[in-house]
């Protein structure tokens, strides 16, 4: 009896901790449901000619064991056009870094992100492959009344 109450109490505490963690990450239930469906998923997008027959690969998107996008590859008729790898902060779950590769699979851009307290993007730092900062994008959020 006491063990059962302790187990229930532990489950409640873990549930509350999980809710607090998810709330801190600003993750909606809809987002969690989408992630659940995408765990360890790879999506291949194919194009076909209007008259049928030939088909070619357009995109490959890969998701991790938490349902987050970790890689996206875009193809052209000559092969890989661009590849983007995505890294996440283990504590906040937010994107921390994106590396963009060119058609020869060499890094062409590196993006690092900074966030506001509410989880929205504050800044995007754009680096050259040699690590030199070449631009900063600042995000501004303007809410207007819709009447």
Residues 77-115 have pLDDT tens digits of 889 999 999 999 999 899 999 999 999 999 999 999 999
Q: Is the pTM of this model over 0.75?
A: no
pLDDT of residue 9: 40
pLDDT of residue 28: 85
pLDDT of residue 55: 87
| Token duo for residue 92 | 């906040």
Question: pLDDT below 50 — which residues of the chain?
Answer: 1-24
Please name which of 107, 105, 42 lies closest in space to residue 71, comparing C-alpha atoms.
42
* Helix (H) or strand (E) run with residue 138 in it: strand 133-138
Name the one residue in this structure whose structure tokens are 């900062």: 133
* Helix (H) or strand (E) run with residue 23 in it: helix 2-24
pLDDT of residue 37: 84
pLDDT of residue 36: 86
Alpha helices in 25-147, H assignment, sequence order = 29-38
């Amino acid at each position: 009896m006491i063990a059962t109450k302790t187990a229930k109490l532990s489950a409640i505490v873990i549930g509350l901790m999980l809710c607090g963690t998810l709330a801190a990450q600003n993750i909606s239930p809809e987002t969690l449901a989408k992630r659940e469906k995408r765990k360890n998923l790879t999506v291949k997008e194919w194009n076909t000619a209007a008259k049928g027959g030939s088909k070619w690969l357009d995109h490959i998107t890969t998701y991790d064991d938490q349902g987050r996008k970790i890689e996206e590859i875009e193809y052209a008729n000559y092969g890989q056009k661009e590849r983007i790898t995505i890294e996440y902060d283990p504590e906040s779950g937010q994107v921390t870094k994106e590396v963009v590769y060119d058609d020869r699979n060499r890094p062409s851009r590196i993006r690092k992100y900074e966030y506001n307290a509410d989880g929205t993007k504050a800044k995007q730092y754009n680096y050259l492959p040699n690590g030199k900062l070449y631009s900063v994008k600042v995000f501004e959020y303007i809410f207007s009344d819709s009447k």
